[in-house]
Chains A and B, each alone.
Chain A
Amino acid sequence: GENVEQHPSTLSVQEGDSAVIKCTYSDSASNYFPWYKQELGKGPQLIIDIRSNVGEKKDQRIAVTLNKTAKHFSLHITETQPEDSAVYFCAATPSNQFYFGTGTSLTVIP
């Protein structure tokens, strides 16, 4: 099955700085890559996604890049704010289920 690795596991940034989270996947059949934000005690919330026919996608302060040849994709958050503090998960889907990374705990220091 698909294996998704995510780095770093924890990340602290100063408010206003950028944060980058990286994921790799193993199954070349994966063609959809969502990112989820999870706050304590809540379910994951979809924040952005990218499909395999696109190399980059941006939504305000959030962007995602995909390199299918290298099998890696990244989440970029610019101008970070304290409310961005949460656990972020990447996922890859080669079939009908989502395979998740182990998460990155992001702390934005005011």
Chain B
Amino acid sequence: DTGVSQNPRHKITKRGQNVTFRCDPISEHNRLYWYRQTLGQGPEFLTYFQNEAQLEKSRLLSDRFSAERPKGSFSTLEIQRTEQGDSAMYLCASSLLMVNTEAFFGQGTRLTVV
């Protein structure tokens, strides 16, 4: 499978716990994006990487959130001290390093904080 891969697909955690999600982009894609989607809404931008550099972060990305892409390949998104409001679908997308190019999404990780 050469698409964007996200793991796990589903995560249920207790409030206050830390969670980490992984995204494996399409292999030749330099750009990697993280988005959050709540029910009935469109995806909201969280952050993006160009190779290993994190170039932009949304105001939505509080200090409890951290993302890494250490070798410019896979990326992780960690949420510390989870809150019920963090419950959402976390989507990863990747694209080539060109202007106005297609971004391809993974299947997402559904987080439920109880």
Contacts and interface: CB of A to CB of B under 8 A. Distances in A.
Contacts of B85: none
A100 B45 CA distance: 9
Q: Tell me what chain B mostly uses at the interface: helix, strand, loop, or mixed.
A: strand
A45 B40 contact: no
A42 B108 contact: yes
A44 B35 CA distance: 11
Interface string B64-106: 0000000000000000000000000001010000011111111
Contacts, number: 59
Contacts of B6: 43
Given A89-B42, A96-B55, A34 B107 contact: no
Contacts of B43: 44, 89, 98, 100
| Residue among B4, B31, B107 with the highest chain A CB neighbour number at 10 A | B107
A30 to B, nearest CB: 10
B42 to A, nearest CB: 3
B33 interface: yes
Given A100-B43, A103-B41, A45 B105 contact: yes
Interface string B16-59: 00000000000000010101000011111100101000011000
| Residue among A45, A51, A96 with the highest chain B CB neighbour number at 10 A | A96
A46 B104 contact: yes
